[in-house]
Structure 1
Amino acid sequence: MPPLLLLDITEATYLQPPLDSILSMTDLIAHRAIALQKHSADLARLHSAVYTTRLKAARGFKLKHARTIHDFNFECGDLVLMRNMAIEKSLDRKMKPRYLGPLIVVSRNKGGAYIICELHRAVLHRPIAAFRLFPYFACQNIPLPTSVLDIDTKRLREMEADTTPDDEALPIDFEPEEDENPEAEEDN
């Protein structure tokens, strides 16, 4: 069982005055009393200092990575490419397609993931996370179908109401693995 502390260790380190030398017993008790008091003004000052530092760090990150952070915000009917996440950990990933598509955006669900379909209007069975999609720039205009998706309207509404993006969706060219031991089938 872990030891129980009388106060939050992260607050205590910030609320105590900085140490400049070895303390006497009286000074040690005074330091501990200050930490145990947890003045609301000290906690508010600490909270505001940490919060402003976090905001400053977030702004700095956004400026530093401005060229790589994109929110494409695809509309219904846009053509996209989907990053093939299934090959990320495989050893022969150089030989496999890095992106799959083009695909058509059907809609976006409440969690921020996109419901997409193939060019022959077959809707993928799971929403795809937004970070996996990139715009597809066609050389020529492609007329996009506006009706008759290969999915039940009820299932489409369920996918749109879903709030969790599926980062682990199977790729379009997914094929189940065959049996590991083909000789066992021949003997039977």
Structure 2
Amino acid sequence: MRNSIDENKRRELKEYERKYRHTIKDWDCKPGTLVQVRHTSIEKDLYRKMYPRYLGPLVVIQQTRGGSYIVAEMDGTVLKGKVGAFRVLLHVPRYEPIVLPEEIEDLIDMSMDQLEDMADREEKDEDVYKGEDFVFDAIPNLRLAPDDNPLEYAVRDKLDKEDVEIQEDEEDKDLIEDRQSLVEEQGVHTRAMRKKS
């Protein structure tokens, strides 16, 4: 069973690579290559409004087994995390070529053991903050149960939904009354009002 699933996965992967061979780019950057890294943190909010931004030039220190890169700035400062291969572009100098020392180890500020640990380390939940959860207790949906009791969560959700429904009904009544008074005072008619009359 497992063998057939593995064969299906490999076949689908080859088909995907064949289908998108013109859009998949593998630069295969060797250590010492100058690259630019796409700044992806702006893409969440401003992606449609901005052109892609790149950081760099950066120096490739090592490529991990998974395909991501460990890169350093020109002064030897190694970036904190690994950089995904899809974010990396080769750096094309505009004016004169940049000459780097032959030994990359001389350039960076980390030992080889630290680099190997960084390459072998997997991104897990270790990077996630697990301290005190700062939530607003006044907001009903964000209140936390004191002892993680599922029954207590269910009761709170039910109460919160009832509160929301009551608040919406009161707000709707106020809006309807405001519209009617506006129509009576100023003679303002919207399309919805015309259809009703």
Name the TM tier (shorter chain). 0.5 to 0.7
The residue aligned with 1:75 is 30
The residue aligned with 1:154 is 113
Per-residue CA deviation, residues 98-121 of structure 1 (Å, 9 max, x unaligned), is: 221111001122333211001111
Residue 109 of structure 1 contacts residue 163 of structure 1 at CA under 8 Å; is this kept in 2?
Answer: no
The residue aligned with 1:137 is 92
By how many angstroms is 1:59 displaced? 3.6
By how many angstroms is 1:89 displaced? 1.1
The residue aligned with 1:36 is none
SS at match of 1:106: strand
Distance 1:153 1:54, change over 3 A: closer
Residue 113 of structure 1 contacts residue 164 of structure 1 at CA under 8 Å; is this kept in 2?
Answer: no
By how many angstroms is 1:153 displaced? 3.8
| Structure 2 spans left out of the alignment, 5+ residues | 128-197
Query: Which is helix-richer, 1 or 2?
Result: 2
By how many angstroms is 1:96 displaced? 6.6
SS at match of 1:90: helix
SS at match of 1:134: strand
TM-score w.r.t. the length of structure 1 is 0.52
57, 65, 87: which one aligns with 1:110: 65
CA RMSD of aligned residues (A): 3.2
| Structure 1 spans left out of the alignment, 5+ residues | 1-42, 169-188
TM-score w.r.t. the length of structure 2 is 0.50
The residue aligned with 1:66 is 21
Distance 1:163 1:74, change over 3 A: farther
By how many angstroms is 1:158 displaced? 1.2
1:121 paired to 2:84: no
SS at match of 1:101: strand
Per-residue CA deviation, residues 1-55 of structure 1 (Å, 9 max, x unaligned), is: xxxxxxxxxxxxxxxxxxxxxxxxxxxxxxxxxxxxxxxxxx89xx86x877665
Distance 1:93 1:143, change over 3 A: farther
Q: How many residues align?
A: 121
